[in-house]
Amino acid sequence: METALQDLYYGFTVAIEPHNLMYCFLGVLIGNMVGVLPGMGPLATISILLPLTFGIKPVGAILMLSGIFYGSQYGGAICSILLNLPCHPPHAVTCLDGFPMTKKGKGGVALGITVIGSFIGASWGITEMMFLAPILVTIALKFGPAEVCSLMLLGLLAGSTLARGSPIKGVAMTVLGLIFGLVGSDLETGAERLTFGFPELDDGIELVALALGLFGIGEFMNSVNQSAPINTKYSHVKLKDMRPSWAEFKWAFPAMIRGTIVGSLCSLIPGTGPTIASFVAYATEKKVAKNPQDFGFGEIRGVAAPEAATHSSVQGDFIPTMSLGIPGDAVMALLLGALMIQGIVPGPQLIKEHPDIFWGLIASFWIGNILLVVLNVPLIGIWVKMLMIPYRYLYPSALFFVCIGVYAANNDMFQVGEVIVIGILGYVLLRLGFQPAPILLGFVLGPRFEENFRRALLISRGDMLTFVEKPISAFFLALCVILIGAQVYFRLRGAKKDKAAAVIDQSLSSHHLQQAE
Amino acid sequence: MAQHRTRRDSSLVSHVFRFRRDFCAGGLMILFGLVAAVNGPHYRVGTLNHMGPGFMPTALGILLILLGMAIAGTASVGTTQGEADDNGNLLPDHPQWFAWLCILAGPFCFVIFGSIGGMAPATFACVFVSALGDREATWKSSLILAAGITIFGVLLFHYLLQIPMPVLEWKSPIQAWGL
């Protein structure tokens, strides 16, 4: 407890350094901005800015890139509440009660409650990280290659089967990502693999090109000329409207706490990111409420719970990423990739070897979240204006940022070509019902998985049983089996739609209904 | 008998046709798996005790082939795997061939003009071409957008962030690609 506070103090001394503070501020500001913009996600933004951070120190780089991620979560709710556009998946469920509130002229209150709920959720997530991550690390430091391998397998399986869409397609995407990770020179022997004679591919597929192909160009192709006309009839919010009354706050507060708990539970299971957390929180809230009939018609608790859950899960997502080096979703994979480009090996030794990164990051979370609360209130007018930028101006500009970002990664035009090819692939995969996010997970973890797998079998002299004989490794493998078993069981029982999925369907159908009005 | 046979065949064909999205998805995965699995053994597979560089590509390739078969094979179990908004159709309801072409042509122009002309022409071409893809875009609006982004981009990336790419230069294509 005391050491954690001491370390946190040290973290603050790192985060408060002027240039780190500036990167943190820039990160949350840019994040907040792209979070508001429909059609731009944190994934694409982080990938575009990633090459620009190569020149700065690792601490500043990671503070800024994480700032973009949690900053964008603050912006995403604005789009849902004021425009009824579920353009950012974690906030799609906020449309259900947020937009009816806006229609009743209470959009400002909904935004205010969102900001408060977000801060409560995020605070809990950060506190959890402060105390839980060091404990996880002391356990994880005892892991040998076999244990690391099984843990990675569990992370990959959870990341691919628990996310949206069909589990088997998710696993296929992960394997495809692992194969993409093999391209280039082999770590041990230097043999060129799957380069098809392109010397430019010797160093492997560029992470930035992969991410921007899948989540930039692929997404643009998916959403061009698809956007419905934006309804800005209700989106005039004044600053003084944002303060909820005491009664409203008191009514929403228990929902925020419940949302926070749901979010932090979801973040502990790898693969269940903020999107699932917010849907589960909404479903739970509706279930425990005495007035379930009010949900969907502007119930303030239906806004507070999912928003708190999103933020507590966003911060909690950093726990396995930073303490074990196992990312839970694509954004975390990208951040780990950023660390590796800076020459920092992710894993349990990170806290010890780079305390400035770990504790500086936690301190910057506190600073960043307070900044976001302060920023969001006066800037709300500007964000609302930004919502009205039409997509036809947005995507050509974003395409240019994609090109220059990929070029800046290595000053290599070949990689801009790479991004075109991967973009086509990304769109085809989307059309075939795949979710491309697990590709990034597999891609980032792939080389480390292979290294540990080889090492584990070298130690055991080629005996595959080593993975089962070591108790910790066997435990992780058992979890993998349970995970797959549960998926198969629910599939065979025909219980395809769990509660969260039902809410998703409901939210999408009600969204279409309201657009038709 | 023969008649019975044909009917069953046609039902199989229509089945494949109905779930063609999942069959194509499985097929694509099998294709990717084959590429890895066929190329893997060329790099020396080695033994479990001492794995060569070819072990992983081969193993993952075979795994992906199996997964592809499973995706195609279970197409009948659930009618829609994944986020099928338009049952099994490969193309969306309103295919945007022209917009897609413009989006892909944008970065392509960036490569071409960036190699021979520098950052300013590359940016202009990239934004202009891709902006034409929107159904509401006009020549004029695209030109204005492209000009604005070019000025902004050059200021930000060349002068402020110092990306090593000349603003304006002329390299003949022979120089640029060694044709």
pLDDT tens-digit map of A368-383: 999 988 888 788 878 8
Q: What is the pLDDT of residue B10?
A: 54
Q: Which of residues 233-252 of A touch B (CB under 8 A)?
A: none
For A12-40, what is the mean pLDDT? 87
> Which of A179, A403, A462 is closest, CB to CB, to B126?
A403
Nearest chain B CA: its distance from A6 CA (Å): 37
Do the beta carbons of residue A372 and residue A83 sit within 8 Å? no
For A147-157, what is the mean pLDDT? 89
Q: Mean pLDDT score of chain A, rounded to an integer? A: 84
Position A94 pLDDT exceeds 60: yes
Cβ pair A424:B134 closer than 8 A: no
Cβ pair B165:A411 closer than 8 A: yes
> Which of B67, B115, B165 is closest, CB to CB, to A171?
B67
Position A501 pLDDT exceeds 60: no
Q: What is the pLDDT of residue A512?
A: 38
For A455-468, what is the mean pLDDT? 85
Position A471 pLDDT exceeds 80: yes
Q: How confident is the model at residue A199 (pLDDT cuts 50, 70, 90)?
A: confident
Residues on chain B touching A407 (C-beta within 8 angstroms): 110, 114, 163, 165
Q: How confident is the model at residue A64 (pLDDT cuts 50, 70, 90)?
A: very high
Q: Which 8-state DSSP code applies to residue A200?
A: G
| B135 to chain A: closest CA residue | A225
Domain parsing of chain B, residue ranges: 2-76, 97-177
Residue A196 carries which side chain, given as an amino acid letter? Answer: F
Q: Which of residues 466-495 of A touch B (CB under 8 A)?
A: 491
> Which of B51, B54, B61 is closest, CB to CB, to A457?
B51
pLDDT 10s digits, A332-369:
889 998 888 888 888 888 888 888 899 999 999 999 99
Helix (H), strand (E) at residue A184: strand A184-185
For A419-432, what is the mean pLDDT? 92
Q: What is the pLDDT of residue A317?
A: 86
Q: What is the pLDDT of residue B178?
A: 64
Residues on chain A touching B28 (C-beta within 8 angstroms): 428-429, 432
Domain parsing of chain A, residue ranges: 2-233+248-516
CA-to-CA distance for A310 and A77, rounded, in angstroms? 10
Take residue A59 and report the two structure tokens written for it. 């601490």
Angle formed at CA A438 by CA A436 and CA A439, multiple of 5 degrees: 70
A148 versus A37: the higher-pLDDT residue is A148
Query: How many other CB atoms are found less than 10 A from the CB of residue B88?
Result: 17
Task: Give Dmax over CA atoms of chain A in angstroms.
Answer: 70
Q: What is the pLDDT of residue B11?
A: 59
Take residue A479 and report the two structure tokens written for it. 């979890």
For A248-258, what is the mean pLDDT? 90
Cβ pair A396:B53 closer than 8 A: no
Nearest chain A CA: its distance from B26 CA (Å): 9
Cβ pair B71:A168 closer than 8 A: yes
CA-to-CA distance for B14 and B35, rounded, in angstroms? 29
Q: How confident is the model at residue A277 (pLDDT cuts 50, 70, 90)?
A: confident
Instruction: Tell me which residues of chain B have a pLDDT lower than 50.
Output: 1-8, 77-86
| B141 to chain A: closest CA residue | A393
Position A195 pLDDT exceeds 50: yes
Cβ pair B22:A191 closer than 8 A: no
Q: What is the pLDDT of residue A511?
A: 42
Q: What is the pLDDT of residue A494?
A: 60
Position A84 pLDDT exceeds 60: yes
- The β-bridge partners of B51 are B46
- Global pTM reads 0.84
Any B CB within 8 A of A392 CB: yes
- The β-bridge partners of A192 are A185
| B103 to chain A: closest CA residue | A221
Q: What is the pLDDT of residue A509?
A: 45
A55 versus B35: the higher-pLDDT residue is B35
Residues on chain A touching B106 (C-beta within 8 angstroms): 396, 399-400, 403
Range name among A205-219, A229-243, A299-313, A474-488 with the lowest pLDDT average: A229-243
Q: What is the pLDDT of residue A230?
A: 64
**Alpha carbon separation from A87 to A178, A259, A402, B40 (Å, rounded):** 29, 21, 20, 41
Residues on chain B touching A428 (C-beta within 8 angstroms): 28
Helix (H), strand (E) at residue A193: strand A192-193
